[in-house]
Amino acid sequence: MNVTEFATSSFVPAPSSPNGDHLATPVAQKARIASIDVLRGLAVFGILVMNIQSFSMIDAAYMNPTAFGDLTGANYGIWLVSHVLADQKFMTIFSMLFGAGVVLMTGRREAEGRRSAGLHYRRMAVLLLFGILHAYLLWFGDILYTYAMCGMIVYLLRHRRPRTLLIVGLMSIAVGSAVTMLFGLSLPHWPAESRQEMMAEWAPTPEEVADNLETYRGRWWQQMECRAPSALGFQTFLFLALFVWRAGGLMLVGMALFKLDVFSAKRSIGFYAAWITAAVCVGIPVILYGVHRNFAANWDMSYSFFLGGEFNYWASILVSMGWISLVMLICKKGVRWITAPLAAAGQMALTNYLLQTIICTTIFYGHGFGLYGRMERVAQAGMVVGVWLVELALSTIWMRHFLFGPFEWLWRSLTYMQRQPFLRRPAAHEV
- The Cβ of residue 298 has, within 10 Å, a number of other Cβ atoms equal to 9
Select the more confidently predicted residue: 429 or 300: 300
Which pLDDT score is estimated for 170?
98
**381: pLDDT strictly greater than 50:** yes
Which pLDDT score is estimated for 32?
75
- Exposed (0-12), middle (13-18) or buried (19+): which is 297, by Cβ within 10 Å? middle
**367: pLDDT strictly greater than 50:** yes
- How does residue 431 score in pLDDT terms, banded at 50, 70 and 90? very low
pLDDT in tens, 246-262: 999 999 999 999 999 99
Which pLDDT score is estimated for 90?
98
**339: pLDDT strictly greater than 60:** yes
Which pLDDT score is estimated for 10?
36
**357: pLDDT strictly greater than 80:** yes
Q: Give the CA angle between residues 218, 223, 228 to the nearest 5°.
A: 175
- Exposed (0-12), middle (13-18) or buried (19+): which is 36, by Cβ within 10 Å? buried
- How does residue 5 score in pLDDT terms, banded at 50, 70 and 90? very low
| Contact of 29 with 13, CB cutoff 8 Å | yes
Q: Is the dihedral of CA 135, 101, 257, 151 positive or negative?
A: negative
- How does residue 179 score in pLDDT terms, banded at 50, 70 and 90? very high
Within its chain, how far is the Cα of 111 from the centroid? Answer: 29
Within its chain, how far is the Cα of 101 from the centroid? Answer: 14
Within its chain, how far is the Cα of 33 from the centroid? Answer: 19
Which pLDDT score is estimated for 425?
79
pLDDT in tens, 299-311: 999 999 999 999 9
Across 380-398, average pLDDT: 98
| Distance between CA atoms of residues 158 and 103, nearest Å | 6
Select the more confidently predicted residue: 28 or 68: 68
Q: Give the CA angle between residues 305, 310, 311 to the nearest 5°.
A: 120
| Distance between CA atoms of residues 16 and 25, nearest Å | 9
**3: pLDDT strictly greater than 80:** no
| Distance between CA atoms of residues 266 and 257, nearest Å | 11
- The Cβ of residue 322 has, within 10 Å, a number of other Cβ atoms equal to 23
Helix, strand and coil percent figures for the chain, each rounded to 5: 75, 0, 25
**9: pLDDT strictly greater than 50:** no
Across 7-30, average pLDDT: 40
Domain assignments of the chain as residue spans, ordered by start: 1-85+334-431, 88-264, 267-323
**55: pLDDT strictly greater than 70:** yes
pLDDT in tens, 206-227: 999 999 999 999 999 999 999 9
**426: pLDDT strictly greater than 90:** no
Which pLDDT score is estimated for 29?
53
Which pLDDT score is estimated for 386?
98
Q: Give the CA angle between residues 34, 39, 43 to the nearest 5°.
A: 145
Q: What whole-number percentage of the chain has pLDDT above 90?
A: 90
- The Cβ of residue 122 has, within 10 Å, a number of other Cβ atoms equal to 14
| Contact of 135 with 145, CB cutoff 8 Å | yes
Within its chain, how far is the Cα of 70 from the centroid? Answer: 27
Which pLDDT score is estimated for 368?
97
Task: Phi first, then psi: give them for residue 111, nearest 5 degrees.
Answer: -65, -25
**14: pLDDT strictly greater than 50:** no
For all residues of the chain together, what is the average pLDDT? Answer: 92
The residue among 372, 283, 352, 307 whose CA lies nearest residue 88 is 283
| Contact of 292 with 139, CB cutoff 8 Å | no
